Amino acid sequence: MKKICCIVNPVSGLKKSLKVYYEAKNHFEKSNFNTSLFVSEYPNHIKDYVSKIDKNSFDRLIVFGGDGTINEVQMDYKIQIIFIVLSLELFLQVLVIQ
């Protein structure tokens, strides 16, 4: 069973990111993924958490948040990182960049 580390900023996306996570979790579990949840509690909490986790213990890192949340995640991992962007403005910017 593959392991996913899910990181959620509960105040992003009009405070709907946890709801989105729980909806996605059901799909992950149906696809035989084991999920681990981390919920940030203060600014830079995600940055602190990500710097301490064993990157080899997960197959994927999925981040639920907005642009500030994305900025807290370092990009030097050898695992797949997926961002669930909960900000329409940032989502449109990402589409333009790619």
Q: How open is the CA angle 15-88-38, to the nearest 5 degrees?
A: 40
Instruction: Please determine, for residue 93, whether its predicted confidence score (pLDDT) is greater than 50.
Output: no
Contact 70, 83 (CB under 8 A): yes
CATH code for position 91:
3.40.50.10330
With CA atoms as reference, report the closest residue to 7 among 54, 72, 79, 77.
72
Domain count, the chain: 1
| pLDDT, tens only, 27-47 | 888 888 999 999 999 999 998
Mean pLDDT confidence for 7-28 = 86
pLDDT digits (tens, 9 = 90+) for 62-74: 888 887 887 788 6
Domain that holds residue 64: 2-97
For residue 14, give every residue at least 6 positions away whose Cβ sits within 8 Å of its Cβ, in sequence order, or none: 86
The pTM assigned to this predicted structure is 0.78
